[in-house]
Amino acid sequence: MKISKAYFFILLMIIYFSLSCDQSLNKELPVYNPSDFNPELVDISLQNKKEDHTVLDFELINQNGELITQDHYKDKIYIVDFFFTSCPSICPIMTTNMAKLQNKFYNENDVMFLSISVTPNMDSIPVLKKYAIEQGVIDSKWNITTGNKKHIYELARKSYFAAVDQGDGGVQDFIHTPYFILVDKKKRIRGVYDGTKDIEVERLERDIKILTN
């Protein structure tokens, strides 16, 4: 049987894109340590650390009033962001994008999500619950949390490196960051993404797939 040039070209393109997809999913993601970040994002006590960074253990309260710790994310791949429910600018975009990721990975039991309020004095459990319902949060996949402000701000600055300033978590201290942080099953940071940009969220989606394969 004679194969036309057009058919042969299409067949080559299918093979090319199939191989490209396989290579993308087999790509090894970097492991991020404090020294890999812009120093402004890292607490001064950790700026020179070049290896073995793992995210800190945490104690937070979710939208259902439940205590959430690192144990809930043991052996999980998860995405973290810092937000507040009354934010009129970047947070609604970030939450919408997180919800899209939640829905895309709904059937992936190894993938979870964690949002941490930077205004815990305002974001009470009832406020978080209302917000979670409005945003379509699935309780088994995504915890919307509050907690002790100093603990939260320490997580942002010493664990996930999401804040471009220093502070003590006091009354006047305030974090406002667009970042999504990807954490693997060994509690290591594997990627940082601008949660307000579609192209970055698409990159995050690809990287989650790499870690789940």
How confident is the model at residue 62, as a pLDDT?
98
Mean of pLDDT over the chain: 86
| Domains recognised in the chain with CATH numbers | 5-212 (3.40.30.10)
pLDDT at 21 exceeding the cut of 60? no
| Predicted confidence (pLDDT) per residue in 164-201, tens digit | 555 554 444 457 789 999 999 999 999 999 999 999 99
pLDDT at 14 exceeding the cut of 80? no
Q: How confident is the model at residue 25 (pLDDT cuts 50, 70, 90)?
A: low
Tokens 């039991």 sit at which residue? 109
Phi-psi region of 128 (alpha: psi -120 to 50; beta: other; left: phi over 0): alpha
Tokens 């290896």 sit at which residue? 51
The values of phi and psi at residue 74, to 5°, are -65, 130
How confident is the model at residue 43, as a pLDDT?
77
Q: What is the pairing mode between strands 77-83 and 67-69?
A: unpaired
What is d(CA 55, CA 76) in angstroms, rounded to the nearest whole number?
13
- Terminal alpha carbon distance of the chain: 39
How confident is the model at residue 7, as a pLDDT?
46
Q: What is the pTM assigned to this prediction?
A: 0.84
pLDDT at 26 exceeding the cut of 90? no
Closest CA to 42 of 31, 30, 32: 32
What is d(CA 76, CA 187) in angstroms, rounded to the nearest whole number?
9
What does the pLDDT average to over 129-145? 97
What does the pLDDT average to over 151-172? 73
% the chain with pLDDT above 70: 82
Using CA atoms, how far residue 38 sits from 54, 178, 186, in Å, is 17, 15, 23
Tokens 């995210």 sit at which residue? 55
59 or 35, higher pLDDT: 59
How confident is the model at residue 165, as a pLDDT?
57
| Predicted confidence (pLDDT) per residue in 71-121, tens digit | 999 999 999 999 999 999 999 999 999 999 999 999 999 999 999 999 999
